[in-house]
Amino acid sequence: MSDPVLLSVEGVAVDLPTPRGNLRAVDQVDLRIGAGRTLGVVGESGCGKTMLSRAILQLLPRKARLSGRVMFDGQDLVRLEPEQLRKLRGRSIAVVFQDPMTSLNPVLTIGTQLIETLQEHLELGALAAKKRSAELLAAVGIPAPEQRLMQYPHQLSGGMRQRVAIAIALSCEPKLLIADEPTTALDVTVQAQILDLLAREQRRRHMAMILITHDLGVVAGRTDEVAVMYAGRVVERAPTPELFKRMRMPYTEALLAAIPKIDAAPHTPLPAISGRPPDPTRPIQGCSFSPRCRYAASRCFREKPLLADADRLDHQYACFHPIQVAAGICA
Ligand SMILES: Nc1ncnc2c1ncn2[C@@H]1O[C@H](COP(=O)(O)OP(=O)(O)OP(=O)(O)O)[C@@H](O)[C@H]1O
Ligand code: SF4
Ligand SMILES: [Mg+2]
């Protein structure tokens, strides 16, 4: 990676106390992303993608315990005061959620929300903020932006609302955008438009982006690097073209086979992978994927494979029997 490192997640774990015992939602994750680069984070529902993004943003549930370091632009976010974090969020790190209604205020007009964000973070005057708001709406493909500024979120379609949420996220020129399943709640026809919009703005602004999805198909061609998560861990990490050319982890292969059908409901188990992910309150001894892995051998049930470098330095996987060259042949 030639760009300087912007975000470095180091040994991050998130534990949540539950009535069933401790739930390890994120388990010793290490990730880096360079300025202006894109990272896809892919995995099934419940594998810890959102908890990881919340750990980066320091927006975890109150009872959660976070360990490890989150270095962003030279600062450890875990150690920042709430006021410093509040300034950083929105200004330097922005987020787009799956459901735009999560980030939009239903009782304020779109204009008020955009203008307030610009005034708070960029200290623009009222007129300049209004002008900039209309420009931002136009940039995210919203027709008649001046009129839209006077509307409320419920007056817009789901796709238009997500465009507004993206405009607000981009308004302060963040260095990093985290997009957590930004299209899962949208119509199939709108999904590609929103993903293309994010990709275009990411390139144009030289902004780093973490694109979180359960669909391996979404990150293909839209990211520089992919981290595949399973049961709270990163189990394979590689530059995107390398991953698709030569995936080594049986779980990644299963995800590829399970690229969701366009009409599948969000958060449904992936049909092509038999069984379910392990209960995160009951850690299993060996490889977490072993109960579902068609290549599992005795060692897989005894020992936990660690994420290690493969023959290429930038390709890591956590598997005792990685797939060799052609899919379906294991070592
Ligand atoms: N507030 C919470 N309290 C306790 N456990 C939680 C909470 N939120 C999530 N979890 C659990 O943490 C684990 C990781 O959840 P997370 O939401 O990060 O998964 P995800 O990969 O984002 O899934 P999805 O694709 O459905 O969004 C899951 O086992 C989930 O049940
Ligand atoms: S370590 Fe074993 S069980 Fe785990 S993914 Fe690799 S082959 Fe499958
Ligand atoms: Mg999620």
List pLDDT tens digits, range 21-45: 999 999 999 999 999 999 999 999 9
In this structure, what token pair is assigned to residue 176? Answer: 């990093």
DSSP string, 151-212: S-GGGS-HHHHHHHHHHHHHTT--SEEEEESTTTTS-HHHHHHHHHHHHHHHHHHT-EEEEE
Q: Does ligand 1 have an atom closer than 6 angstroms to the CB of 184?
A: no
How much distance in Å is there from the Cα of 81 to the middle of ligand 1? 26
Q: Does ligand 1 have an atom closer than 6 angstroms to the CB of 61?
A: yes
Express as a percent the part of the chain with pLDDT over 70. Answer: 92
List pLDDT tens digits, range 192-217: 989 999 999 999 999 999 999 999 99
Q: What would the mean pLDDT of 244-273 be, rounded to a whole number?
A: 75
Given a cut of 70, is residue 268 above it in pLDDT?
Answer: no
Residue 273, pLDDT score: 75
Confidence of residue 259 (pLDDT cuts 50, 70, 90): confident
Q: Which protein residues are within 6 Å of ligand 2, measured from CB?
A: 250-251, 287, 289-290, 293, 295-296, 300, 305, 319-321
d(CA 273, CA 249): 14
Where are the chain's structural domains?
Answer: 5-92+174-330, 103-172
Which ligand sits nearest to residue 317's alpha carbon? 2
Q: Output the pTM of the full model.
A: 0.93
The CATH superfamily assigned to 5-92+174-330 is P-loop containing nucleotide triphosphate hydrolases (3.40.50.300)
List pLDDT tens digits, range 68-102: 999 999 999 999 999 999 999 989 999 999 888 88
Residue 261, pLDDT score: 57
